Amino acid sequence: MTRARYQQVSLSETPFYHCICRCVRRAFLCGRDHYSGQDYEHRRQWVVERLATLVNVFAIDLCAYAVMSNHYHVVLRVDQARAESWTQREVAEHWMRLFSGPLLVQRWLRDETGEVESLKVLEIVEEWRSRLYDLGWFMRCLNEHLARRANEEDGCKGRFWEGRYKSQALLDEKALLSCMAYVDLNPVRAGMAATPETSDYTSLQQRSRAVQNKSSIEKVPTLLPLVDGEHIESDDSTTICRMRLMDYLELVDATGRALRSDKRGAIDGSAAGILDRLGVDQTVWLENMAPRKQRAPLAIGPLAKVRAFAEATGRRWIAGQKAACALG
């Protein structure tokens, strides 16, 4: 039986989640539709711009993204502590960047309400606070916006997305890095780009341009950074993990070359050292990067953490445990 999205998220187990959403039937989110001849390439920027808006509103950080022709991937970190640290006025201001809000709240922000009215406003604001670190609300605000724009442009109505977005819990640092690399290599595997840094509308291209100090005239989302050399051993909540950006770029590049059909199925020597430091088997890493024929497991990480996540989300068992804990 299908479970509600909130039952598939456990912030006590992990704040990191990989989300995927696909268009219905043969509808095109972006790119060129070979059946109709229509070019929807400009819609990629819609996704990126909406992500840029949402990460500045929600207490949810963006770790990685890739915008494909009929689907997109995002890797997100939910920061509940940040949302809970906001004042009630800050919560209202954040929420009302997306929604107008009731007149009562607008009056409260202008200090025009009495004591009884203010108590009602605070109830509303606290509900908004919980939504601002809710994965479901983030995805809803992303997908509904894109669907409305696409349907308006196509002059039609009805469902634009295949169904609810799919989420995957990332239970440790290795699972997180594996998923980020998988997302960043999507255009390369699909034959849309020759190298990761030339993959348009991906987080890796955005990070690569930042390293080169190349400014973009287009609006791009703020990405949760990887650590620099000085803070590699620190446990800093302002960074993704303890891996340096340059190490990550090298790892993704070498993995992408190893996965090409005209290359041998082995990790390049420069990436092998990084994997050794992570304690990840090279063969298992390549298997996790390969295109997935079956549905992705609900959670990835060490077996003990997968079982703890299952218990926390009210399950006795999660399918794909063997594959999910392969990086552990």
Q: Is 25 left (phi over 0), alpha (psi -120 to 50) or beta?
A: left
Structure tokens at 48: 């990126």
pLDDT at 232: 46
pLDDT at 72: 94
Asked whether the beta carbons of 143 and 5 are under 8 A apart, the reply is no
Asked whether residue 3 carries a pLDDT value surpassing 90, the answer given is no
Question: Of all residues in the chain, what percent carry a pLDDT higher than 70?
Answer: 79
201: helix, strand or coil:
coil
Residue position matching structure tokens 């190893």: 258
pTM, two decimal places: 0.83
pLDDT at 240: 81
Sign of the CA dihedral with 21 first, then 25, 26, and 29 last: negative
What mean pLDDT value characterizes the chain?
82
Question: Of all residues in the chain, what percent carry a pLDDT higher than 90?
Answer: 37
Quickly list H helices, the chain. Answer: 43-55, 80-85, 88-95, 103-109, 115-131, 135-154, 173-184, 186-189, 203-211, 245-258, 269-278, 282-289, 303-312, 321-324
pLDDT at 194: 80
Asked whether the beta carbons of 240 and 181 are under 8 A apart, the reply is no
pLDDT at 5: 62
pLDDT at 119: 95
pLDDT at 231: 47
Structural domains in the chain, CATH included, are 11-82+134-324 (3.30.70.1290), 88-131 (no CATH)
pLDDT at 215: 67
1: helix, strand or coil:
coil
- Best CA proximity match to 66, nearest among 189, 240, 237, 219: 189
Cα–Cα dist 114/92, whole Å: 17
